[in-house]
Structure 1
Amino acid sequence: MASAEAEAAQISYEDLALLEDEFEEVDSEIMRKQYDLTKPLYTKRAAAIAKIPNFWALVLEQAPPEIDQFVQPSDSRIFGESLLNLSVTRPELDAGGDDASPRSLKIRFEFKENEDFEDTVLEKEFWYRRAKDGWTGLVSEPVKVHWKKGRDLTEGLGDAAVGLWESRKKGGEMLRKEGVEYDKVRKLVEHLGGGASTSFFTWFGWVSGRRWVSAEESEAAQREYRERMERRKKGEKVEEPEDEEENEEEKFAANDDSDVEVHEAGEELAIGIAEELWPNAIKFFTQAQEIEEMSDIDFEDDDEDDEEDDEAEGEPVDIRALVQDKGKTRKRMSDGPGPSKKAKKAS
């Protein structure tokens, strides 16, 4: 017992920090190899699912809760009517380089011409970066969705996020907390919220869960991180980067931009799409088909009762949540015996 306690006492913070760094390095290497190995399979999958109408709309209908909670009924309609394709790539790995991060993402949505927006492609890129104080995470530039008149599901949040970004970039102050653009976004976020209560398309305006970190800051911080790691491997004691702020309150204020962040979980949603929805798309599609088969049996039993109810009420059937497949109206794949999650949102 005494021997075990003595051995534990000899383990220093440096040992633990080095182990943590080494685990992160291994995780990154696994992600790199997995990306290379699965690339041909995703190409093969893309060719196969291109022949399946509404494949990605049905996959999104079966999305796990961490994604589904941010998809409103109005978003589902757009996906069901217009979404042609979805893809996820790792742009830094594609570009190569010793410091290429496998955690950086590019998520691309392809749409056919529709009544909601002018875009046929909406593409959002996420960079995995390290801040000077040691924080790591994804950041992204806001993407403008060119909504048609009266169709903006974000109620102005997306355009306001783009406006603030452009204003800050022009002024060279990416954390400037004043001005017309800043006040506009802050008031909209306060009024509309910035997550599960707003349209999925608000996510395209997301910048960071903390604050914007530039490529230059990240490169400098990454060099310092590498140097600290090498020194730890040599058994040296290494000090963590010092905060410029005098206390935790000042540090938090300097790094917090949540008042003007239009989506509360932009990073989590991006990772969910990349690591859950994208690799498991066939599984989610298969689940949709199984649920549809069970639902079709229920519909056959209830057809006569439904017709009698419609005649009695004299009201049209609500088809907002239905997915169209080559002119055939089908039940939403996420609907079971009771009302679906999205249907509950709409009620």
Structure 2
Amino acid sequence: MADETAPISYEDLAAIEDDFSEIDTEMSMLARPQPCPTPVAKIENFWSLVLEQAPPEIDQYIHSHDSKLISEHLTGVEVTRFELDKKGPAGDPRSLRIRLEFSPNEVFSDRVLEKKFWYRRASDDWTGLISEPVKIHWKKGKDMTEGLTDGAFALFGARNKSGSMSRKNVPEYYAMEDKVEHWNGANTSFFTWFGFVSGRRYVSAKESETATAAYQQRREARRRGEKVDVPHHPENQVSDFEAEDDSAVEVHDAGEELAVAFAEDLWPDAIKLFTQAQEMGDMSDPEFEEDDSDDDDDGDDEPVDIRSLVQGTGKGKSRDSNGPPAKRARR
């Protein structure tokens, strides 16, 4: 007689998902970012060359005007998990702080741009990184983000003042909605990323703490074998997720992915990426160059070559001359 397999319930699947989430958290705790060795700071153009070899999640958002600024003025990068030592729902090791340091330049007056990303849970159990817009003090006529960072900062401030971070009937919301219809992180500047808030909507620390406590209670109940009700929205009703979706005013769709790429790919592999950039520089010496004029493409965009900018030769890719891409579909 064939063995009978016991059916797997929703509670069983939810418990497995809980276990994976716990493993993810533990892995984040083990992956404590280590400071780069002190000698790195003494290497000229170290971080500029590291960014030349950045993974696609970062590189695709670095435009030619960004490349020039980065190659000439980026002096330091630091990634930390600033909530790593906090316990309970007050903090999460997946939260990140990314700090970029610059020498004096003609684009903005800031010497440091620092952006925090908090890992939070919403009332309907959505989880992810959220952030607050960073004010960049652009010099007159130098805003490379087409006003997106200033607009995001203004909207966040207006909502905070009103007492509702989901409020839409404010002038700043309508202004941002109009801007984001045409401009975003993909067709403006790498620095638009500093205006990122959320891939969905802002989640406050209080909401996250309450939702996390409720999640832990459900998790313990499942471990005891109890049936657990979870946040649910009937299919025939508009959920809070849809009603509060802020994609219409989000300046950078990939803000979370870019932050994770900095923390998990660029920061821990910085020395390796620098070495690769140096090797690429050696390969571009005259004795290694070949005539490849017959292999030129039909005008496709070329990758940004920060190394050439650092060395004073070559050009990076330019902004798409065909204009901004069509507005993304709302989620």
Is 1:289 the counterpart of 2:278 in the alignment? yes
Counterparts of residues 5-44 of structure 1 (less than 5 Å): 6-7=4-5, 9-35=6-32, 42-43=34-35
Is 1:138 the counterpart of 2:124 in the alignment? no
Q: Structure 1 residue 237: deviation in Å? A: 1.0
Alignment TM-score, normalising by the size of structure 2: 0.86
The 3 A distance-change label for structure 1 pair 246 and 331 is same
Q: Could you tell me how far apart the structure 1 residues matched to 2:307 and 2:45 are?
A: 14
Q: Which residue of 2 aligns with 1:207?
A: 197
Larger of the two Rg values belongs to structure: 1
Q: Which residue of 2 aligns with 1:343?
A: 317
Q: Which residue identity is paired with 1:229?
A: R
Is 1:240 the counterpart of 2:237 in the alignment? no
- Asked if the contact 1:76/1:321 (under 8 Å) is kept, the reply is no
Is 1:274 the counterpart of 2:263 in the alignment? yes
Could you list the runs of 5+ residues in structure 2 that have no partner in the other structure?
A: 292-304, 322-331
Q: Could you tell me how far apart the structure 2 residues matched to 1:153 and 1:196 are?
A: 12
Q: Structure 1 residue 288: deviation in Å? A: 0.4
Q: Secondary structure at the match of 1:132?
A: coil
Is 1:323 the counterpart of 2:309 in the alignment? yes
Q: Could you tell me how far apart the structure 2 residues matched to 1:181 and 1:101 are?
A: 31
Q: Which residue identity is paired with 2:148?
A: L
The 3 A distance-change label for structure 1 pair 135 and 49 is same
Q: Which residue of 2 aligns with 1:312?
A: none
- Asked if the contact 2:71/2:306 (under 8 Å) is kept, the reply is no
- Asked if the contact 1:174/1:212 (under 8 Å) is kept, the reply is yes
Could you list the runs of 5+ residues in structure 1 that have no partner in the other structure?
A: 303-318, 333-339
Q: Secondary structure at the match of 2:192?
A: helix
Q: Structure 1 residue 14: deviation in Å? A: 1.0
Q: Which residue of 2 aligns with 1:170?
A: 161
- Asked if the contact 2:48/2:306 (under 8 Å) is kept, the reply is no
The 3 A distance-change label for structure 1 pair 320 and 218 is closer
- Asked if the contact 1:73/1:321 (under 8 Å) is kept, the reply is no
Give the structure with the larger helix fraction.
Answer: 1
Is 1:259 the counterpart of 2:248 in the alignment? yes
Q: Which residue identity is paired with 1:10?
A: P
Alignment TM-score, normalising by the size of structure 1: 0.83
Counterparts of residues 80-91 of structure 1 (less than 5 Å): 80-91=71-82
Q: Could you tell me how far apart the structure 1 residues matched to 2:140 and 2:306 are?
A: 20
